[in-house]
Amino acid sequence: MRAEDVRQHVTTPLTSPAYAPTVPRFTDREYLNVVYRTDPEALRAVVPEPLRIDDPLVRFEVMKMGDVSGYGPYTEAGQAIPVTFEGERGEYLHAMYLDNFPATASGREVSAYPKVMGSPALHVDTGALVGTLDHGGQRVATATMGYKHHELDRDEAAAQISVPTFMLKTVPGYDGLPRVQELVRTRITDLTVKEAWTGPARLQLFQHVLAPLADLPVLEVVSAGHILTDLTLAGVEPVHDYLKGALS
């Protein structure tokens, strides 16, 4: 294979890439969001500067992807933390767990999503929308919400999930030190909200050393949403370089 051919590939193995070279379009992406209040000191321990925390809130989310170009259906769960950066409000993605390896690999390599493998699920059970996350054979999180109790304004629903998203991009060098270490920003584009609902909700987090969601404990459930969408994820842009100590 010629050098110029190698340069056309963005992932390995060269003859069987880990993920498709495409910008994915999400169709029928279904969210269960539970926003809860947590310990502010616990948040400060995990949110990197120069991001700032106002209210000590966390959004636990389970997302069931009805169809994704290049990846097919899969499910994802994780935690997002409301933050501000230079006066702009957004969310810092703290942890994400997926049951699809190509989506996990591309999210980490192409962008900066903090994705690892897990076993999330979203389903309806006896009048409740239930979102769960398992790590191996152990339960890590269980969220329940009254199924379609009250309609949620679609503009409000869109505003909830389309805020700018901040992530930490770290690429190690061969000496074990970071070769790239940046704070990056992205957001959702081409968003269509098909359905939006709210209702009562509960959330339980269970201690696990390899999936430490419970390190951000649930003190009070603030709100919940059940949203069905079509959307596209924009590319990322660096906004802060930790190795240079200056904005990119």
Q: List, as one string, the DSSP characters of 128-169.
A: EEEEEEEETTEEEEEEEEETT-EE--HHHHHHHH-S-EEEEE
Three-state SS for 44?
helix
Task: Name the β-bridge partners of 229.
Answer: 29, 193
* Helix or strand holding residue 224 (H, E): strand 220-233
pLDDT tens, residue order, the chain (248 aa): 899 988 888 888 988 899 988 889 999 999 999 999 999 999 999 999 999 999 999 999 999 999 999 999 999 999 999 999 999 999 999 999 999 999 999 999 999 999 999 999 999 999 999 999 999 999 999 999 999 999 999 999 999 999 999 999 999 999 999 999 999 999 999 999 999 999 999 999 999 999 999 999 999 999 999 999 999 999 999 999 999 965 54
* C-beta neighbour count of 211 within 10 angstroms: 22
Q: Identity (one letter) of the amino acid at 130?
A: V
Residues marked as catalytic: 115
* pTM (two decimals): 0.94
pLDDT tens per residue, range 124-171: 999 999 999 999 999 999 999 999 999 999 999 999 999 999 999 999
- Yes or no: say if 59 and 106 are a contact pair by the CB < 8 Å rule: no
In the chain, how many H helices and how many E strands?
A: 4, 15
